[in-house]
Amino acid sequence: MRISKQSSGGRGEYEIAETAPNGLTPQDLFDKDLHLKLGDSVINTRVHLSNSQGKRRLRLSPPANHPHVHTQVANALMMPAPIRDELEVLGGQPVLQHKGYILKHINFGEVQLHANYVLAEVISVDSANRSVEADRISLPERTNMVTKIWRNSRNFPPSIGDLIRSHEDQVKAGGPLNKGLTDLNTELRGMIQAYSAEIGIAYSDSTDVVPAMLSIIGNVETDMPLPLDQIEPERLEIRKREVKKWQQYVARRGAASAKFREDIRKAYNSTCVMCGARFPATSVNSNPGVDAAHILPWADYDLDKVYNGLALCKLHHWAFDEGLLLVTHRAGEYFIELNAEAEDTLLSSGSSIDVLKKVVGKIPISRLPLDQRDRPHPDLLQQFCDEIEQ
């Protein structure tokens, strides 16, 4: 069972659709106030299901001085304000932009029928815009994030901490969540944008505030920035924010990459696993002559582990990355193989294939890391070979 927005080319309507796991149908819910369980909080939305001209529509219960159910859910979860008018939604990424997306579905788990109300556990919500049909947010994950922010309110400047505690108080009061909470969330996003600029975290107040707040209290790292080509050109503030995030991300990536190189060279004793050439850093050459190569590309897999790496000299790093030389694993041993298709092509082109053939064969155990956990993972080697064949 779920609350779904029915498209009409304009504002549309929200209704309850499908049958609950315990057999309750939307008709069983008519004229009962809807209480939503959001994590540890229960909200009386003061919204009910009405049978209007044969259509199941959600309507505000009097006195109707509170927002509709989708706005109350978004406010409780610290999401930017959603809208109902499909003609006004934005496109591209991120989906959660202030008054630029629709809360398309509010998905239920357990649904309980009481005398005067219905209690429905929300397990996820789906947001959408012009270019993203459904971006699902897990309720347990989201409410855990919000709870972390509540618990760490004292890690923020006092004015922000006061807003966070006020948000917690209003959500825990049981609802309905009035329009003042929309204003509070708007004010909170603005204050976080100003504070983020002071401490070097990129954030735009038109987007989701929760990841930025978690970054501030140090519970999670800032997410990988959005590809700039996914952001519409006219969304200049968001593009500016993402450029800053890329700068921060590159800085963090630089540190992680340096550690990966150091760990690989140490594990392989600055020795090329293919040819056995050893070129450590010395007083003469400050840079080692052996590279730390990823087996599966970091850009695709973000896996800076020694078992996803090889120490290779410049020549054999090139040959490995190009798929000319492969590292394989059979019966507990490692081998270097020349790609058969590449061999035929190289022969016909007059390339120096004999130089590559010299290293083909079993890899001596002395060239592999002493710690077996650091040795090339067989599954990653196989995945690399499979991708080369494709």
Reduced to 3 states (helix: H, G, I; strand: E, B; else coil), residue 225 is: coil
Range from 22-26, 38-42, 211-215 that averages highest in pLDDT: 38-42
Q: 305, 298, 306, 278: which is closest to 290 by C-alpha?
A: 278
The 3-state DSSP class for residue 227 equals coil
What is the arithmetic mean of pLDDT over 174-202? 88
Question: Is the confidence at residue 72, as pLDDT, over 80?
Answer: yes
Banded model confidence at residue 53, pLDDT cuts 50, 70, 90? low
| Mean pLDDT score, 57-63 | 86
Q: Is the pLDDT of residue 313 over 90?
A: yes
The answer to whether the CB of 97 falls within 8 A of the CB of 80 is yes
Residue 321's nearest CA partner among 335, 339, 333, 304 is: 339
For β-strands 13-17 and 117-128, DSSP reports them as unpaired
**Residues of the chain with pLDDT > 90: what percent?**
49
Statement: residue 247 has pLDDT above 70: no
The distance in angstroms from the start CA to the end CA of the chain is 42
Q: What is the mean pLDDT of the chain?
A: 87
Please say whether the beta carbons of 266 and 305 come within 8 A.
no
Q: What is the pLDDT of residue 272?
A: 97
Angle, helices 179-199 vs 158-172, to 10°: value is: 150
pLDDT of residue 9: 59
- Give the model's pLDDT for residue 220: 46
Query: Which of 95-104, 162-171, 246-255, 337-346 has the weakest average pLDDT?
Result: 246-255
Dihedral angle over CA of 42, 48, 49, 50, nearest 10: 180
Segment (H or E) for 13: strand 13-17
Task: Dump pLDDT digits (tens) for 353-385.
Answer: 888 999 999 999 999 999 999 999 999 999 998
pTM: 0.60
Is 249 or 207 the better-scoring residue by pLDDT? 207
Q: Measured between alpha carbons, how far is residue 213 from residues 79, 209, 221, 333 in Å?
A: 12, 6, 10, 48
Question: Does 386 score more than 60 pLDDT?
Answer: yes
d(CA 303, CA 62) in angstroms, rounded, equals: 55
pLDDT at 156 over 70: yes
221 band by pLDDT with thresholds 50, 70 and 90: very low
Give me the mean pLDDT over the 169-197 stretch. Answer: 91
pLDDT digits (tens, 9 = 90+) for 93-152: 899 999 999 999 999 999 999 989 999 999 999 999 988 888 899 999 999 999 999 998
